[in-house]
A and B are shown apart, each in its own frame.
Chain A
Amino acid sequence: MAILNGCEIPDDLYYYLEGSQMTWIRLEGENATLGLTDPAQTRAGRILHVRIKAVGTTRERGKPLATIESGKWAGPVHFPMGGTVMKANEQLEIRPVLINDDPYGEGWIAQIKITDQSELSGLLRGEQAQAKFNEIIARDNVKCIRCQK
């Protein structure tokens, strides 16, 4: 786990870091779990509402699977590959702040069955991901903190 300006960046995840998107992806066979990264939840501030596409929805590469509202930020959460939503995190309806408290754990957003694994090539991990995070964190002056539970 790398810590960059207070932001936790686990080594075992893939990252999608394009435009306003800073999402993580955990691969489990042909399935993936999607969530917001620590810098993304910090930049958004306390999450107030999360809307996730219905289970069974199939989206093309790069289309949003969820929408996040924080009062400070309103935006889509893209999944960088084509896929079908297999499960949505039901806990987020009651406690959307789980994304702030535990972005890589209980704050996961959706589980997706990936349509095409070859699209993984566009994702970053390891040192490449850390270099990109360093660039974003410096550019946007992000310092990660956890909301009080």
Chain B
Amino acid sequence: MPEVMNMAEETKKLLYVMTNGPENPDKTYAPIYTAALSAAMEIDTSMYFLMHAAELLRKGAAEKVALKKGGSLKQFIDMALENGVKFYVCEESLRDLCNIEPDDVIEGVKVVGTSTLADLALDADSVVSF
């Protein structure tokens, strides 16, 4: 048989914590791809971007992150959002570390405080950190 999905119908929650930014493009793709896949598997999936990862969510930034496999990170962010991944970005990282105003963040991302990370982590069934 193909890998058969036989999970209980109860929806599980996964939180991915993302800290890698455009300074390390090889580490940006897999977390977002994995989150997109989790959402496709009907897992309630959230991603929390902090530190330099916040830079990836600046308008026009993901297009400039070239991937070794070809293309840019933009298509994977779009895919994750389309699959239903909830994107959160740390406002402190955004403003103080990356010098980005909330208005410069792409659509579909919630700008939240650091305390939201604690809420999301406690609410999730598992937390995966990159």
A-side residues, CB < 8 A to B, are: 19-20, 49-55, 57, 63-64, 67-69, 71-76, 88-90, 92-93
Rounded to whole angstroms, the CA-CA distance of A89 and B1 in the bound complex is: 7
17 A-B Cβ contacts within 8 A? A20-B82, A49-B3, A51-B5, A51-B41, A52-B5, A53-B4, A53-B5, A53-B6, A54-B6, A67-B37, A69-B37, A72-B69, A73-B79, A74-B33, A74-B40, A74-B83, A90-B1
Majority DSSP secondary structure for residues of B touching A: mixed
B82: chain A residues at CB < 8 Å are: 19-20, 75
B3: chain A residues at CB < 8 Å are: 49-52, 93
Give the distance to chain B from A109, nearest Cβ to Cβ, in Å: 9
Chain B interface residue bracket vs A: 10 to 19
B1, B40, B71: the one within 8 Å of A64 (CB)? B40
B2, B6, B69, B71: the one within 8 Å of A50 (CB)? B2
Rounded to whole angstroms, the CA-CA distance of A88 and B1 in the bound complex is: 7
Interface centre among A20, A53, A74, A88 (most CB of B within 10 A): A74
Q: Are B40 and A90 in contact (CB under 8 A)?
A: no
Q: Are A76 and B40 in contact (CB under 8 A)?
A: yes
Q: Is B105 an interface residue (CB 8 A)?
A: no
Rounded to whole angstroms, the CA-CA distance of A30 and B55 in the bound complex is: 51
The 7 closest A-B pairs by CB, nearest first: A74-B37, A93-B2, A76-B40, A54-B6, A51-B3, A54-B4, A74-B36
Interface centre among A52, A53, A75, A93 (most CB of B within 10 A): A75
**B29 to A, closest residue via Cβ:** A71
Q: Are A67 and B5 in contact (CB under 8 A)?
A: yes
